Structure 1
Amino acid sequence: MSTTVSNAPPTGNAAMAAPRQRGYWGTVGYRLRYDPVTLFFGAVLLSVILAAVFASWIAPADPYQESIIRRLKGPGYMGHILGTDELGRDMLSRLLYGGRLTLLMGMVPVVIATLIGGGLGVVAGFAGGIVNTLIMRTMDVFYAFPSVLLAVAISGAMGGGVTNGMIALTLVFIPPLCRVAETATTQVRNLDFVDAARATGAPLRLVLWHHVLGNVLGPVLIYASSLISVGIILASGLSFLGLGVKPPEPDWGLMLNALRQAIYVNPLIAALPGIAIFITSVSLNMVSDGLRSAMDVRS
């Protein structure tokens, strides 16, 4: 008597009894997909980024065109949707173009600091001993100064400007990212699967790449994502103090500085750059919190 084996996929109750297996990143994506708060603020953040990237096509007017007779006009005046600034320039266009430099100065230093600080932290945590002491004691020197004062001091000493401002913020963010990476690497270094990989004679680079970095990357990325909002606020602060973007280039922090006297004439116009910074920072923090919850394997 012959037996026929069917290769058809299970159906009905059999299909329900065999749920699809997801990997780690598949599980993270599944959790994020069903997190309405993170999705909402992610959509807001994506809208801000796209508006800044495509400002040349979206902006209704030239952000540099001045008009003395149109100074500090309210929303809707002569086609200016959000009004005009202290020199009669279109506020909506200035905000769209200003988002480019603000986001650039907030994100680029975090990315560079993640690569440098994260790499130093992994080396310090995995090597231990004198290498760990040398790297981490050097990082501790930066902790002696508040991040705001350190960024202002470095940028002021270098002469201000967009490039020098990003260098200053990068140096500020390297120590905390290095510490997070070092702590995570130290915890992973002595786990059983790392010892087993070493015992089998696996090359050091493979142990680091496949066993250490995979477990360190999550905490570092989560912490780095939370630093972007801090970077935007610090970058805006540098521009507000005249150590970041220089006039007439649009930047949210620089616009706050230029409009600070206008609060007595047209407070709504003066508040618009601050509102843009607030919305972007809150969205980044909420997305970072959602990402941390989704990547928490214990939940």
Structure 2
Amino acid sequence: MSTTTATASPPATINATPPRQRGYWGNVGYRLRYDPVTLLFGTVLLLIILCAIFAPLIAPFDPYQESIIRRLKPPGYRGHILGTDELGRDVLSRILFGGRITLTMGILPVMVATLIGGGLGVLAGFAGGLINALIMRVMDVFYAFPSVLLAVAISGAMGGGAVNGMIALTLVFIPPLCRVAETATTQVRNLDFVDAAKATGAPLRLVLWHHVLGNILGPVLIYASSLVSVSIILASGLSFLGLGVTPPEPDWGLMLNALRQAIYISPLVAAMPGIAILITSISMNMVSDGLRSAMDVRS
């Protein structure tokens, strides 16, 4: 009688790869990728920036070329898609070239103010004591004035021009950014992982770079992005008042000032620079709101 020995087959191995864990910024990118509203307005904002960068290539006319016989012509007149202004210059070309100056005056002051104000805020929040009191009391002096009034006062004292306008806007945005950075740093400074890093003998620069800056970067960036639209409006307002860009440079605020006399003759042409400012500001605000939602760790 023969017996058969059953050989047990080896257990099947499960070759399942665990899902890749996304980091903080990976989660931010993932949320932004599935946010249709932010993607829509981000695309609009990107198109505006690209049109401003490549304005010399896509502008149909010379933005400085004047013609008395083409004054205040309606949109579509002889190839002028958005019409002509009070001096016969093509409005579309001037809006494209004006976007370069307006966007620069809107973005650059916020970037510089973020570096200066954020650095002072981190120093004040981490050092505390007398240094905190000294820095924040100086910031409170500037913070006490409305941003519009302060920008007009500083720009008026220094004189007109795009450079002086950007300096004025930078000084306006430093105090609020410093306060946001100081508040966030003060909260992070008292957390346990910062005390643990100090107890292990970690250098101060590493504690600041890895533990402090890494945790306050989100709130500071969100607040800074929300200031870009404010900066664009303030820059256009300075140019409108004659304290920013000087003629004949194309600028949206300067174009509004020049075309305000033609509001009853050609209202559509006169409204074009204002529409450009409105679309850019709304797009920047919506992108800032989407970024804030994506960077919220509680969501």
In structure 2, stretches of 5+ residues that fail to align are: 1-7
Partner of 2:80: 80
Matched, 1:142 2:149: no
Partner of 2:3: none
In 2: Cα distance, 1:225 partner to 1:147 partner = 16
Aligned pair in 2 of structure 1 residues 5, 194: CA closer, same or farther (>3 Å)? farther
Report the identity percentage: 83
Q: Give the aligned residue type for 2:136.
A: M
Partner of 2:280: 280
In 2: Cα distance, 1:252 partner to 1:157 partner = 23
Q: Give the aligned residue type for 2:282.
A: V
In 2: Cα distance, 1:41 partner to 1:2 partner = 59
Matched, 1:95 2:89: no
Aligned pair in 2 of structure 1 residues 70, 187: CA closer, same or farther (>3 Å)? same
Partner of 2:64: 64
- SS of residue in 1 equivalent to 2:163: helix
**Deviations 1:210-230 (Å, cap 9, x if unpaired)?**
000000100000000000000
Partner of 1:261: 261
In structure 1, stretches of 5+ residues that fail to align are: none
TM-score by length of 2: 0.95
Instruction: Quote how far apart the aligned CAs of 1:179 are.
Output: 0.2
When Rg is computed on C-alpha atoms for both structures, the one with the higher figure is: 2
- SS of residue in 2 equivalent to 1:259: helix
Q: CA RMSD in A?
A: 1.4
Q: Give the aligned residue type for 2:139.
A: M
Q: Give the aligned residue type for 2:298.
A: R
Partner of 1:192: 192
In 1: Cα distance, 2:53 partner to 2:190 partner = 45
Partner of 1:292: 292
Matched, 1:30 2:57: no
Q: Give the aligned residue type for 2:30.
A: Y
Partner of 1:177: 177
Runs of 4+ in structure 1 off by over 3 angstroms are 1-6
Partner of 1:226: 226
Instruction: Quote how far apart the aligned CAs of 1:144 are.
Output: 1.9
In 1: Cα distance, 2:292 partner to 2:284 partner = 12
In 2: Cα distance, 1:35 partner to 1:192 partner = 34
In 2: Cα distance, 1:51 partner to 1:248 partner = 20
**Deviations 1:27-84 (Å, cap 9, x if unpaired)?**
0000000000000000000000000000000100000000000000011101111110
In 1: Cα distance, 2:79 partner to 2:209 partner = 56
